[in-house]
Amino acid sequence: MTDTRLIVPEKKRISRRSALKLAGTGAASLMGGLAAGPGFVRYAQAQSSEPIRVGFQVHRTGIGAAYGRWYEQTTNAAVKLINEQGGINGRQIEIIAEDDATDPGRGAEVVEKFATQHKCDVAFGTLFSHVVMGSAPRAGELKLPYYVVSEGHHVASGALNRYTFQPGITDVKSQVISMAPWIAKNVGKKVAMIFPDFAFGYDHRDYFSAAIKAQGGEVNALIPIPPTETSFTRYFPQIPADTEVIYHVMVGPAVLTFVKELGEHFGSQHPPLFGFIDSLEAVDLKSPGLEFLEGSYLWEAYPRFAGASPTAADTFYRGKVGVDANGASVADPADISTYSHMFGCWETLYIIKQAMEAAGYQGAGDKAKLIEATEAITTIPEGNEHPQGDKIFNGKIHQSFGHQNITQVKNGVGEVVYRTTIEEGLYEPEADYTKMPL
């Protein structure tokens, strides 16, 4: 990255701000015949000794709470470590966590709170796609850099804005297309897809269908399941007899029932399964009813089981977060983490640190520089900061791309059978955020 890219002309920023003020004044006088606008946009000048305030939008309640708890534990571990190592530009990180109830309306309010009440430097950590969608417009408008850890395709699709990034976890489109070659080669080419009947499921449906076709395979049945469903047996007759692979991705607590019923329905005679671990995050693979998963394949962003030869970075990361080699809490082996997603919080915090240091970030006035510094990131090396593996970052679509893993369940333990290359998950960028004004 060059210096010239990072410097924002001071004049331009001021003129934009006064334009905003002018527009506000016009509106106010339109409404109430008033002469002076209330000077809405006020940034506190941060002192360099003050901590950097990171607003953490966390799903403590609502449907995302099982994930939220682990996102919080990972975030706290990363912040503790960064602070022990001297913080960012010599300043400590302070986490300001607020519950968004896994609700897009509340999520938007929380982002407003971060920007204007807590005076956060950045906001971070959102997982569920609908909360990201509800919150991102507010972050963009309030010019609050917003780093999500969601794996949704929303950021890379161009639907959001210049201030929203997803640098810590690969998006679902990339995950899905990187799976297709291996599935076609090793499991089967006729795929029956079972997916939730809403946006997240449609991403799987659309991107995987196209990707498997490119491998000479086909999707022989699309079985969408409504998100309110608690029983699944009646959908199973829709799986054609000649199916070679059952591809399943489900979210929400009903997934255990889903797998259990699949087992009851098919017994020992069934096509091989390929599933996304999203279904089984925070769930013990040895739970009653999950015996059916034995031998099946799972996508994992970051393998839950450390295996025989974990990397030094993985061991380091597990130790700091408090997770054992089985992906369970060190304090309680029955308490399974959301291992395949929560690393995104850790890695995103290190991206924020990297970008802030590159931008020489001093305070709220440097937010534009921070955006440009984040966009300027290209490669992310593997290491303690990025234990999941190396990644590349596309600044135009604000999205990172990493390796994905295919795990086979053997004796209730996941064992990695294939690790994709980054290239297998790349696709043509659909947008260019860098052309949007700051």
Residue type (1 letter), 83? N
CB-nearer residue toward another protein: 23 or 312: 23
CB-nearer residue toward another protein: 254 or 342: 254
CB-nearer residue toward another protein: 50 or 99: 99
CB of 370 to another protein, least distance (A): 20
CB of 2 to another protein, least distance (A): 29
CB of 159 to another protein, least distance (A): 5
CB of 252 to another protein, least distance (A): 8
CB-nearer residue toward another protein: 4 or 230: 230
CB of 220 to another protein, least distance (A): 14
Structure tokens at 206: 């659309």
CB of 303 to another protein, least distance (A): 20
SS3 170: coil
Alpha-carbon distance 339 to 305, whole Å?
Answer: 9
Alpha-carbon distance 393 to 172, whole Å?
Answer: 15
Alpha-carbon distance 266 to 250, whole Å?
Answer: 18
Alpha-carbon distance 169 to 161, whole Å?
Answer: 18
CB-nearer residue toward another protein: 131 or 349: 131
CB-nearer residue toward another protein: 58 or 373: 58
DSSP label at 58?
E
CB-nearer residue toward another protein: 52 or 336: 336
CB-nearer residue toward another protein: 243 or 311: 243
Which residues, including other chains, have CB under 8 Å from residue 336's CB and lie 6 or more apart?
A: 281, 282, 283, 284, 304, 327, 328, 329
CB of 320 to another protein, least distance (A): 22
Alpha-carbon distance 211 to 63, whole Å?
Answer: 30
Alpha-carbon distances of 145 from 203, 210, 266, 268, 364, rounded to whole Å: 26, 33, 49, 51, 10
Distance linking the first and last C-alpha atoms of the chain: 18
**Residue 153 near residue 171, CB atoms below 8 Å:** yes
CB of 80 to another protein, least distance (A): 20
Which residues, including other chains, have CB under 8 Å from residue 24's CB and lie 6 or more apart?
A: 37, 38, 40
